[in-house]
Chain A
Amino acid sequence: MYKLKLITRYLLKRRITHFAVLAVALCVFIVVVVMTVMSGLVWGFKQNNHEFVGDCIVGTKSLVGFPYYEEFAQVLERTDFVTAVSPVVKNYALLRPDAIDVTAGVEILGIDPVRHSRATNFAQTLYYRADNPAAAFRPLYDPNALGCVFGIDLALPKSAMGQYAYNIRPTRRAYALTCFPLNARGAPSRSASMVATQRFFYSDHSHTGIARVDGSTVYIPLEQAQTLCMDGELKRVTSLHVKFRAGAALRPSCARVRELWNDFRQDKQDANDAYLLDTVTVESWKEHRRASIAPMEQEEVILSVMFSFVGMTTVFIVFVVFYMIVSHKTRDIGILKSVGASNASVMALFSGFALVVGLLGSGSGTLAGLWFLARINQVEGWLFEHFGWQLWDRSVYAIGAIPNRIEPGLLAVIIGCAITACQIGALVPGYLAARLRPVETLHGSRT
């Protein structure tokens, strides 16, 4: 009981305890803000990647592609756990605007906009045709022209604050796309020119939030892509993007697709060009986008490690403060023991004290963090307006606002760590205090 009383009295009286609380609050504040922003970035980035490719990808790295894809798509669509399948041709092309002598290399994705919008979030990434993906390749200014969709960074300029200069209607622009059609053996086609060229009209732009995609991808109709990039009797694609029913677990569902694919390949063993099926793999979206997600995740890990150092600083601060309190209060400890307080209860006094410091510190740090996060974008906007200072250059990075979505789980972990850090910091001083012999501490003190 005296513990409670002493804890509150010490907390109210001693300025050094206020500093300890402040130090804990500061550490918690920093960690809450930075971890929230960082985990928000990682989460958003993963989300973008997931939505861009769908749940599962049956595909080949080879630009030659694989045949019989429509048959396998039907196999998948007949199952109860697949809701959509979209065949896609991926390849590279030269892009040349009409009347301008600038040729750029781009990645082309041949898609059926309706099917692709069912398997991925393609429709939501569009600007003019977001409500009507079926018309994605029909320019507003000329619905009969052959349209193409640009990654947004290929189509629009971007301000320093990351705002795109949107137009109310797409401007009429024509481009020539040039590809090298490959036959089923992977060799260039033997047609007269060896290259295939097709004119497209800019119909819309797609904003996936993935910088590399938005800066280098041109979407065209699937059939166009097949004639531009492929040559041969059997139609081929490079991948099937699969969407699972809501709530279907990712790994088991991918495993089922893999089984179905293996059976399908067995059946097709003797079909024409069956060897092309051997290069096909089944991957979850995480596996498929590993190369772009992994560095992000690594950064998050590194950040967590760095913050464990911040945590150690907290431990040390609490240690120093408590050590000072113990050395200031040895007499009190002697008195407590002379009236019969046990070692354990002296120890409990300090750990209770640490608990209060930890709770107050992490509580106020969290509140300050939440308050700041709620205003972080305002603060950044203000800084940019007045000082031109920006956390990251929006004209370079694909990130819009600073993420500030609070994760209760993360918050709980941070608060838990702060309280644990306080306990650890109080451990040694508490132990030293508990071990003090009453006479030693009372000897010579005269108040």
Chain B
Amino acid sequence: MGKQAAILKADGLHKAYRMGTARVKVLKGVDLTVREGDFAAVIGASGSGKSTLLHILGGLDRPDEGTVSFDGRDLSRMRARELNRYRNEMVGFVFQFYHLLDELNVLENVLLPAMVSRSIAGWFMSRRVARRRAAEVLEQMGLSDRARHKPYQLSGGERQRVAIGRALMNEPRLLLADEPTGNLDSTTGNGILAVLERLNQAGQTIVMVTHDERIAARAERTITLADGKIRE
């Protein structure tokens, strides 16, 4: 397969957490390259640092050591504004526990990344385009008839699809998903995986975290995280 250029590169990532007086080293030198069009699964035992790694890749956390570069640009050298833009436009993040805003309905949750980056005036200028994109995403996720519902009215699988829809809203180059099926029964989980596979076939680059070998097997590339290091 003629692989595309690397879009995300992690080099020698270290991360430790302070637990009282002790320091728990979670990542001890992680190197990783993600190429355009990849569907990579990061697998590892619970507590092995998968979420930590994904957060660092998504610009939600900083490594103690090492660098993450996106399109050749080092995240740690980005200004706050650029980092906000990175989170807003370059990557879409799907959390294990959906993390939807309860006060907003499905449509508004999906629109959130588009709203966040715009002023009120800017929003009124571009809201038609954004609405069309959101409708398209909801259609893709099979949630068109749920647009006006609130998160508490949805099932777990539906919520996760809303979360994926939100992550896709701004057409990010990279989709990061942290155990997107971890909270769902296997049928519903399979539905979510099918959605991700379809997205990947359409060209979406995806990095997915899981601790389930069978799910990892569905990805085209499996990365194992153990003892704070990567094995491929």
**Contact assessment for A341 and B104 in the assembled complex, using a CB-CB cutoff below 8 Å:** no
Considering only residues 305-347 of chain A, those with a C-beta below 8 Å from chain B are: 331-332, 334-343, 345
Number of interface residues of B (CB under 8 A): 34
- Interface Cβ pair total, 8 Å cutoff: 80
Known contacts A339-B113, A343-B80, A439-B60: A4-B120 contact under CB 8 Å: yes
Instruction: Select from chain B the residue with minimum beta-carbon distance to A437.
Output: B61
Q: Does B223 contact A (CB under 8 A)?
A: no
Bound together, the chains give a CA A342 to CA B95 distance in angstroms of 20
Interface centre among B85, B89, B97, B101 (most CB of A within 10 A): B101
Question: Given A5-B104, A339-B112, A340-B88, are A442 and B120 also a contact pair (CB < 8 Å)?
Answer: no
Q: Looking at A10, A340, A446, which has the most chain B CB atoms within 10 Å of its CB?
A: A340
Question: A339 and B88 in contact (CB under 8 A), knowing A437-B61, A445-B97?
Answer: yes
Q: Does B119 contact A (CB under 8 A)?
A: yes
Of the candidates A1, A331, A338, which one forms a contact with B87 in the assembled complex, judged by CB atoms under 8 Å apart?
Answer: A338
Q: Are A345 and B116 in contact (CB under 8 A)?
A: yes
A44 within 8 A of B: no
- Tally of contact residues, A, Cβ under 8 A: 28
In angstroms, Cα B95 to Cα A341, docked, is 17
A332 B101 Cβ-Cβ under 8 A: yes
* Interface residues as binary, B147-170 with A (CB distance below 8 Å gives 1, 0 otherwise): 000000000000000000010000
For the complex, give the distance between the alpha carbons of A338 and B87 in Å: 6
Inter-chain contact A438/B115, CB cutoff 8 Å: no
Given A338-B93, A340-B87, A342-B80; A439-B99 close (CB under 8 Å): no
Given contacts A339-B166, A340-B87, contact A447 B119 (CB under 8 A): no
B interface vs A, CB < 8 Å? Answer: 55, 58, 60-61, 80-81, 84-89, 93, 95, 97-104, 108, 112-113, 115-120, 122-123, 166
Query: Which residues of A approach B to under 8 Å, CB–CB?
Result: 1-2, 4-6, 9-10, 13, 331-332, 334-343, 345, 437-439, 442, 445-447
Q: List 28 A-B contacts (CB under 8 A).
A: A1-B115, A1-B122, A5-B104, A6-B103, A9-B104, A331-B99, A335-B112, A336-B112, A336-B116, A337-B60, A338-B58, A338-B60, A339-B87, A339-B116, A340-B86, A340-B113, A341-B84, A341-B116, A342-B81, A343-B80, A345-B116, A438-B60, A438-B61, A439-B60, A439-B61, A442-B60, A442-B95, A446-B97
